Amino acid sequence: MAIWQREIITFLLLFFAVCVIGLFTKLFLPLLLVLMIFLLCRHLYQIHRFEKWLRMGRQNIYPKTTGVWEEIYYHVYRIRKNNKRRKKKLSKMVDQFRESTEALPDAAVVLNATDEIEWANKAARDVLGLKQSDKGQRIPNLIRFPEFIQYLKSKQYDEPVILPSPINNKITLAVRIIKYGAGLRLLLAQDVTQLKQMERMRKDFVANVSHELRTPLTVIKGYLETLQDVDEGMSPLLTNSLKNMLGQTDRMQYLVDGLLLLAHLETKSKKHEVINVPDLLMQICHEHEALLGDGRIELTLDSDAKLVGEEHELRSAFTNLLGNALKYSPEDTLIKLHWYQTSDALLLDVIDQGEGISVADISRVTERFYRVENKRDKKVNGTGLGLAIVKHVLMRHDAHLIIRSELGKGSCFQCTFPIQRLGE
């Protein structure tokens, strides 16, 4: 029988007994009053005991009692026990998590919404020089590199920022911030010294090899041109071979020059000069027109804005874009160049009505050596380095390249420079 049913039956039996005795003694109402006072006192006493038990916080035992109160004690006791078990499990998990993050080779620091350190692991102390006592300190007061402070303020944490370690400048760190919870951020710093060293070695290697290949190539080309001059066309095989060899040497020279330029773009410090872009574009267009002489280029200058940057690099990028537009579109189509300005950018559009690029290829054409294999009527020479050079040059000018293209209809290569680059 359920405990509540038993409680009600007991009450009904007592009430019945009072009714019977009351009938015989004619004292029904006083007896009923006594019964009510008794029941009320009993429950008040139980409530007092229960409140005392809760207040004392004793978890192992509960006072001996009967009826519905035993049931109430038992349920509360069970809930408390479960909570205790859960709390124990949770704190064990937190301890395990702390231990594992302590053992992480990467530095990890938890920052609150006001950039104060909430917690840091051992690696953070070793590699960032943080101390236990730094808890609660603002991180920009401890890691004072301007690029780090700017990164922290920017709230744009997609890419990591590369910094030397504050306690050992031979160590290079890739620092990244991850947002989580309500205003909390996790700062992770990974030691990328070896990676950066290998990258530098690769760049140096490519630059050195390209540089060393230049002289032998010039010599070979010189001899081939001399041989071509003395060839009297007696042997068609020899004439053809010399032509092919010269073609391949030219291609190799072009490739080596491209690689060397890319290596320079990756390593050279940036120069800041004011470039008259309209003049530069006019020069480039005239050079191509002089070479082709077919009036295919239409240049529209809607702005006389000058740009802060490096002329040699921009010349190379714009020449590549115009060269590609000419290479990859039919000879009877127009190439349009448009230089203009908006409230927040300076823009150059290079528009052609050529073969276009598929969506899948658009994201890849700026990779080194990537060439789209199209079934063209005539073979188009190239190295696959042109757009990689364009991308690098634009990156060095805080600009970006947007490619819009439709297969069979044409392409628009848009260079967008931030207005901050506007030169006086």
Q: Which of 281, 354, 393, 399 binds ligand ADP (CB under 6 A)?
A: 354
Give least dist CB 383 to ligand ADP, A.
Answer: 5
418 close to 398: Cβ distance less than 8 angstroms = yes
Should residue 166 be labelled a site residue for ligand ADP when binding is judged by CB under 6 A? no
Structure tokens at 109: 């620091």
Q: Give the count of residues interacting with ligand ADP (CB under 6 A).
A: 21
Q: Which of 318, 324, 337, 338 binds ligand ADP (CB under 6 A)?
A: 324
Give least dist CB 355 to ligand ADP, A.
Answer: 5
Should residue 297 be labelled a site residue for ligand ADP when binding is judged by CB under 6 A? no
Should residue 288 be labelled a site residue for ligand ADP when binding is judged by CB under 6 A? no
Should residue 355 be labelled a site residue for ligand ADP when binding is judged by CB under 6 A? yes
Which of the residues 395 through 414 are near ligand ADP (CB under 6 A)? Answer: 411
Q: Which of 372, 393, 401, 415 binds ligand ADP (CB under 6 A)?
A: 372
Give least dist CB 213 to ligand ADP, A.
Answer: 18
Q: Pick the closer one to ligand ADP by CB: 110 or 321.
A: 321
Gyration radius (Cα) of the chain, Å: 41
Q: Which of 284, 325, 345, 348 binds ligand ADP (CB under 6 A)?
A: 325
Piece of the chain touching ligand ADP by CB under 6 A; list 10-18, 38-46, 301-309, 318-326: 318-326
Q: Which of 371, 398, 414, 423 binds ligand ADP (CB under 6 A)?
A: 371
Q: Pick the closer one to ligand ADP by CB: 151 or 328.
A: 328
Q: Which of 352, 392, 393, 394 binds ligand ADP (CB under 6 A)?
A: 352
104 close to 124: Cβ distance less than 8 angstroms = no
Q: Pick the closer one to ligand ADP by CB: 316 or 411.
A: 411
Should residue 383 be labelled a site residue for ligand ADP when binding is judged by CB under 6 A? yes
Rounded-to-integer distance, Cα 388 and Cα 320, Å: 10
Piece of the chain touching ligand ADP by CB under 6 A; list 6-14, 188-196, 306-314, 351-359: 351-359
Should residue 386 be labelled a site residue for ligand ADP when binding is judged by CB under 6 A? yes
State the SS3 of the chain.
Answer: CCHHHHHHHHHHHHHHHHHHHHHHHCCHHHHHHHHHHHHHHHHHHHHHHHHHHHHHCCCCCCCCCCHHHHHHHHHHHHHHHHHHHHHHHHHHHHHHHHHHHHHCCCEEEEECCCCEEEEECHHHHHHCCCCHHHCCCEHHHCCCCHHHHHHHHHCCCCCCEEEECCCCCCCEEEEEEEEECCCEEEEEEEECHHHHHHHHHHHHHHHHHHHHHHHHHHHHHHHHHHHHHHCCCCCHHHHHHHHHHHHHHHHHHHHHHHHHHHHHHHHCCCCCEEECHHHHHHHHHHHHHHHHCCCCEEEEECCCCEEEECHHHHHHHHHHHHHHHHHCCCCCCCEEEEEEECCCEEEEEEEECCCCCCHHHHCCCCCCCCCCCCCCCCCCCCCCCHHHHHHHHHHHCCCEEEEEEECCCEEEEEEEEEHHHEEC
Rounded-to-integer distance, Cα 135 and Cα 148, Å: 19
Q: Which of 128, 357, 393, 415 binds ligand ADP (CB under 6 A)?
A: 357
Give least dist CB 386 to ligand ADP, A.
Answer: 2
Give least dist CB 332 to ligand ADP, A.
Answer: 16
Which residue is listed with tokens 């359920």? 2
Give least dist CB 404 to ligand ADP, A.
Answer: 11
Should residue 67 be labelled a site residue for ligand ADP when binding is judged by CB under 6 A? no
Should residue 277 be labelled a site residue for ligand ADP when binding is judged by CB under 6 A? no
Piece of the chain touching ligand ADP by CB under 6 A; list 65-73, 82-90, 338-346, 364-372: 364-372
Give least dist CB 279 to ligand ADP, A.
Answer: 24
Q: Which of 260, 365, 394, 401 binds ligand ADP (CB under 6 A)?
A: 365
Q: Pick the closer one to ligand ADP by CB: 371 or 400.
A: 371
Rounded-to-integer distance, Cα 142 and Cα 144, Å: 6
Should residue 384 be labelled a site residue for ligand ADP when binding is judged by CB under 6 A? yes
Phi/psi class of residue 91: alpha, beta or left (left: φ > 0; alpha: ψ in -120 to 50)? alpha
Interface contacts to ligand ADP, rule CB under 6 A = 320, 324-325, 328, 352, 354-357, 365, 370-372, 382-388, 411
